[in-house]
Copies of this chain bind each other. A is one copy, B any other.
Amino acid sequence: MKLTYTGKTKNVYALEDGNYLLQFKDDVTGENGVFDPGANTVGLTMEGAGRAGLKLTKFFFEKLQEKGIPTHYIAADIEKATMTVKPAQVFGEGLEVICRFRAVGSFLRRYGKYATDAQPLDAFVEVTLKDDDRQDPPISEDALDMLGILTKEEYQTLKSLTQQIAHVVKDELAVKGIELYDIKFEFGRVGEDKQIVLIDEISGGNMRAYKDGEYIEPLELEKMFL
């Protein structure tokens, strides 16, 4: 088992059978000790965050599997905080795909002239480049196509999958009286036919969830939800 990538919130190991093992860490993104799913630095370390993130990820990835929505998920070991996944190739050097049900975070910072805080948004999808040096800039369908990162056809698949998956998460949270404001995903191409599938994780660290108008911290979300 060989360490192939050290990420902000997880490490990636290559397995001998060609699959990969994701080791979930207790680090979460944010700034100055405050959690922010939109940040691209590690803001703080919370004991149990890795395992909590994996528990939610396992729940949602298995839920998506039941619904026939493709992911890279194979199995999870909660005790070890590891997840076994199929090999996937990311788009370019990595994209984040955000689905928004309410206007908060960077959306509001950019479009505050036309949107009010927490205004409902209709499963709005946008893509940002994973690029720490350039603060993860948003990028349009046309630019993704022109720069050879994603074809227009792939963009439509990505957008459709994003909305489907976001609605699955939103509906599951709603059962517990929790409201999903926004969520971010990563996708990759899997197999010889380069099928577009969800990769990485679905956890409190990737979403903003609220209960009765109050924001729920990632660790709290896992406790409330599972």
Contacts and interface: CB of A to CB of B under 8 A. Distances in A.
Interface of A: 92-93, 109-115, 121-122, 124-126, 129, 131, 133-134, 137-143, 146-149
Nearest to A109: B134
26 contacts: A92-B113, A92-B114, A93-B113, A109-B134, A110-B134, A110-B137, A111-B129, A111-B134, A111-B137, A111-B139, A111-B143, A111-B147, A113-B129, A113-B131, A113-B133, A114-B129, A114-B148, A114-B149, A115-B147, A124-B142, A124-B143, A125-B142, A126-B143, A138-B138, A140-B141, A141-B141
Nearest to A130: B113
A93 B111 CA distance: 12
Contacts of A122: 146
Interface of chain A: mostly helix, strand, loop or mixed: mixed
A124 B147 CA distance: 10
Nearest to A159: B142
A125 B143 CA distance: 9
A92 B149 CA distance: 31
